[in-house]
Structure 1
Amino acid sequence: MGAELHQVQIINDQHVEGPICFISRKIKPTEARYGASQMECLCLVWALERLNYFLEGCAFEVITDCTTVESLLNIKTPNRHKLRWQIAIQEYRGNMTIVQKDRNIHKIADGLSRWPLPNNIDNPDYVQEEAFPQIPIEGISVTDLNTTFFEEIRNSYTQDNNCSILFQLLSKDCKENSLIHSLDEIWKNSYDEGIFDLLDGIIYHRTKHTCVMRVVDRSLINLVLKECHDSPFSGHLSEDRTREKVKPCIWWPMWQKDVTEY
């Protein structure tokens, strides 16, 4: 069932009627057994309840194509349904006028009870839609990061023997065997496999799918763990989800164990 609220306004010294709102709802299973006249009366009562904040204190007309609705307020011997509906709309008596219009004149009700026609050439109100070409748009977002954190990473390499040697090897075009052999065995093997890279003075640890910063300073490691777990923006995540946040950003030996212990 559905209803439409209209208002008449004076525009350029002419009375112009325009819609205010449209309402509708699905019929309940028990209501599906109602006859046509009962359904029309039910729709009126429901519409008045829904539109009460528009209608309260105002004089208005109810336009319908059902004669039963027109006589709802004045039925002498109503059944239990209509009696209940009479009581429900008593507050509008004096302000409400029910007007009956034939179906061929009252086209709004006829339109509200039907699905809209598709917008194609078979529709008498067909409007050709303008076709717009699809234009792909690529957006690029650039954000400047705090350089202090990166400076601390670079400075921390001087405090670690392996990182200091690795920094020298990656900075030079000519690789010195003496420097390579001075690395610890695990570092030497990783260097030989080409896992390490140097970019903007920061050592990166490369794997099959990631390339993350190499950190050795314990205070920086603790800062990363704090930001990935304790920060309000991180949400105090579980061990697995904290590990997932650390993994694409920073790498250090035994990092998974440190995340678990933290």
Structure 2
Amino acid sequence: MSKICLFTIERQITGSKVAPVSLELERFKSGKLDEAEISLHLTDSQENEISALLYDHREEFASDKEPLGEIIGHEVDIILNIERPYPTLLRGPAYPASPKSREALEIHVKELLDIGVIRKVVHNEEVEITTPVIVAWHNGKFRMVGDFRALNTYTVPDRYSIPKIQIYLTQISHAVYIATMDGLKGFHQNVVTPRAR
């Protein structure tokens, strides 16, 4: 879904009924929300309420201008358990790829460069760690997958508890609405500390 710039509207909710929606909200619904799958089992009032809520938070959605968000208040710090100079194992060569996979990889790398997730290495820049990638295909679509096995060997593991799904299911068991949203390139929205880049 793309981010759009619209004027702020005021929403009035009387009881469970939503006041007539503005022209800007209608454009939002027929434009950007047209890509969303909103349940057909909702009443018009419920659908208007959800649409207005999404409209109120429209700045959170991606756009061509700002295609990627970032997780606020959390930085990933990758700590290695070895000192420089790093072993040659951490500078792995590129894996061989078919012409089709190579073309897909080039498209994906260009996209990541364009949105600022990765940067080009300048001439004569020393690169201490490289991660070979492969292209994984599924149903005609591809994604780039990094092989972090060597890096993980020399990385201090995270120490945090993994939440149990049952806790979350219990918390939402009485929910009136349940929404799922897919973060665009969610993995790349994790901010990495400057020293870990």
What TM-score do you get using the length of structure 2 for normalisation?
A: 0.25
Q: Which has the larger radius of gyration?
A: 1
What TM-score do you get using the length of structure 1 for normalisation?
A: 0.21
**Which one has a larger percent helix, Structure 1 or Structure 2?**
1
